Structure 1
Amino acid sequence: MAGYTGTREDHLRRLRRVEGQIRGLQRMVEEDKYCIDILTQVSAANRALQAFALELLEEHMAHCVAEAIAKGGNEADVKIKEASDAVARLVRT
């Protein structure tokens, strides 16, 4: 079971909101809106995706990583490395 299963509907709602923001950006470009206004909306969409990613990462660590650590062994090392790599990718973006 995925760590986010209990909050899946919340996550889907957030992603639909982000999808709406992206569609709004497309409309803004189609309508030749002012560049700075578009960039402001790009920033808002980026923040929304980052907030989603951080919440998902937190759930992953609380569920998947914690469970692997409790079991011990190589699986714990793998899950910790996966989480560390995910954080590194998020920081680079």
Structure 2
Amino acid sequence: MSEKAVHRSHPAIIKRLKRAEGHLRSIVEMMEEARPCLELAQQLSAVESAIRQAKKTLIEDHLDHCLEETVGPLPRERRKSIDEFKAIAKYL
């Protein structure tokens, strides 16, 4: 697969990151307005979570598509290690 390939999850990831970007800008404004630290921490946590989810989706999509393309079709008994790798990667 080409390095420039757009995966089907990319539009959703871009949307999530743009939302996080706007949210982050509003947090900067909140800081400039001297809003309470508790509010800032809550909002930063939300942005952090959005970015973490975007990363997770990107990695899972990569494994599902690029790894499958590289490995190709395998008999069930030989797929076990690939399937286990994909399953354990969800905990990253």
Q: Same fold (TM over 0.5)?
A: yes
1:7-86 equivalences under 5 Å are: 7-70=9-72
Q: Is the 8 A contact 2:7 2:61 kept in 1?
A: no
Gaps in structure 2 of 5+ consecutive residues: 74-81
Q: Is the 8 A contact 2:9 2:61 kept in 1?
A: no
Q: TM-score of the superposition, structure 2-length normalised?
A: 0.69
- Tell me the distance in 2 between the aligned counterparts of 1:17 and 1:4: 20
Which structure has the larger Rg? 2
Q: How many corresponding residue pairs?
A: 78
Tell me by how many angstroms 1:9 deviates. Answer: 2.1
Aligned counterpart, 2:7: 5
Q: CA RMSD in A?
A: 2.7
Tell me by how many angstroms 1:24 deviates. Answer: 1.1
Percent identity reads 27
Q: TM-score of the superposition, structure 1-length normalised?
A: 0.69
